[in-house]
Amino acid sequence: MCQNIGNDAVRYSRTGDVFHYRWVALKCLDMLNPLSNIEKIVVENSQERMAGEYVIDVSEYLRAGEISIKYYQMKHTVKEKETPATISFFKNTLEGFAKRYLALRKEKIHKNVLFYVITNRSINSDLKDNICKKAKGKECPKNFDKYIKNYTSLDKLRLKDFCNRLILVDGCGDYEDLWFDLFVKTNQLLVGQSDKTAVDKLEIMVRDKAMPNSDGEITKEDVLKCLGYPSVDFLFPAPQLIEKTKNIVERKIYKDLTEKIAKQQKTIIHAAGGVGKSIFSQFFKQNVCGEAVVYDCFGLGTYALEITVDEEMKEWIRAADKFSDEDAADVSLLRRLMRESDSDMAVSLEKEKLIKRILILEEFQEKSMELLESYRKELKKEDKETIK
């Protein structure tokens, strides 16, 4: 009986570690977002190495903005997740965060920092309300004041500023929920694949970064390796090559087109090459009320150019110029298989099957290019007749 109780305690402890690794893995994927300003993530410590280090599970460093550092502590529970956590549950966390806050304040860099508590357990609503009140300098219950002053050892003004930088995030889901979130988010980056290998690699990478022989730093390149991509460019089907234009002269047609687009859900603007579709798209993005995304499908015509690469990789790259969702999945899978050893018979057979399919796609592409060239000649002919 005693042995079983001990084993359960060890298992519960392991769930906390897994929760930690998977949450960090999800945070790492945020670095791949083109709008992300995360420079790096540090696991199990911080690069400042100041007081309060022992409560910091994750440090996040940002490139720009008012906030440059975010410190996180992870708290996971199996048995008490439905029992709202009170302030005593965060005693060690508040003590450690307050020490780090004072150390940062001494160096005059505290204004750029936020402190996060991440937990799968619900947090008492009164506790969250009292933290918000304290951040605004409002009166709080005496019992709460007694505990938070005892835990942080901060005076009134510093406690107010500290609470302004303290963020409690509860209900984050169990370690099993995080695996599913990680699986979904990862596969959104893998072009139609459903493969848990990347999830496992991400989790192992985070775990290894938490080991004593590691500096704990995770960069965008580390995350890309887990997904099998050599660079962030491989996440997107084509590069953005539209030349940025400033001080665009507004033409009457621009206003008419903008008004028409605003009135209907879908609009196709088509014209001969060189008329100014790309210029209008930039004008529209700069002047539309709301958000507009300009996606380059043409790439200055580079999609029609012959690509010179190693013969081993030639098949999938040439076929990738024009693809449907189904074809993209095949190309991406072959791309990963090219990195695997042919000694694995299953890998070798799968690779051979995909190469044959992509060669068929290549033949289709050549025919498509012939039709496209014929269409271009017809357009030029029509343009000449129009000028006459």
Residues 193 and 187 sit within 8 Å (Cβ to Cβ):
yes
What is the rounded CA–CA span in Å between residue 71 and residue 345?
Answer: 47
**CA 373 from centroid of its chain's CA atoms:** 39
Query: Closest Cα to residue 15, out of 115, 114, 169, 120?
Result: 120
Enumerate residues 6+ apart whose C-beta is below 8 A from 265.
Answer: none
Tens-place pLDDT, residues 77-118: 888 888 999 999 999 999 999 999 999 999 999 999 999 999
97 φψ region: left (φ > 0), alpha (ψ -120 to 50), beta (else): alpha
Helix (H) or strand (E) holding 356: helix 345-387
Residues 342 and 351 sit within 8 Å (Cβ to Cβ):
yes
Measured CA to CA in angstroms, residue 309 lies from 69, 321, 327 at distances of: 42, 14, 20
Structure tokens at 54: 């022992």
pLDDT of residue 332: 54
What is the rounded CA–CA span in Å between residue 302 and residue 241?
Answer: 9
Helix (H) or strand (E) holding 42: strand 38-43
What single letter denotes the amino acid at residue 19? F
- Stretch 262-284: mean pLDDT: 77
Q: Which residues pair with 218 in a beta bridge?
A: 41
pLDDT of residue 269: 75
Q: At what angle do helices 91-106 and 156-164 cross, to 10 degrees?
A: 100
Enumerate residues 6+ apart whose C-beta is below 8 A from 279.
Answer: 245, 248
Report which of residues 281 and 166 the model is more confident about: 166
Share of the chain above pLDDT 70, in %: 69
Tens-place pLDDT, residues 295-322: 666 666 554 444 434 443 444 444 444 4
- Stretch 237-242: mean pLDDT: 66
What is the rounded CA–CA span in Å between residue 272 and residue 386?
Answer: 12
299 φψ region: left (φ > 0), alpha (ψ -120 to 50), beta (else): left
3-state helix, strand, coil in the chain (%, to 5): 55, 10, 35
What is the rounded CA–CA span in Å between residue 288 and residue 302?
Answer: 29
pLDDT of residue 260: 80
Measured CA to CA in angstroms, residue 108 lies from 46, 102, 105, 333 at distances of: 17, 9, 5, 50
> Domains in the chain, start-ordered, CATH in brackets?
2-231 (3.40.1350), 252-295 (no CATH), 301-387 (no CATH)
Q: Which SS3 state, helix, strand or coil, does residue 30 take?
A: helix
127 pLDDT more than 60 = yes
Tens-place pLDDT, residues 46-58: 999 899 999 999 9
Residue 73 phi, psi dihedral angles, 5° rounding? -120, 135
14 pLDDT more than 70 = yes
**Confidence bin at 377 (pLDDT 50/70/90):** low
CB atoms under 10 Å from CB of 334, counted, come to: 21
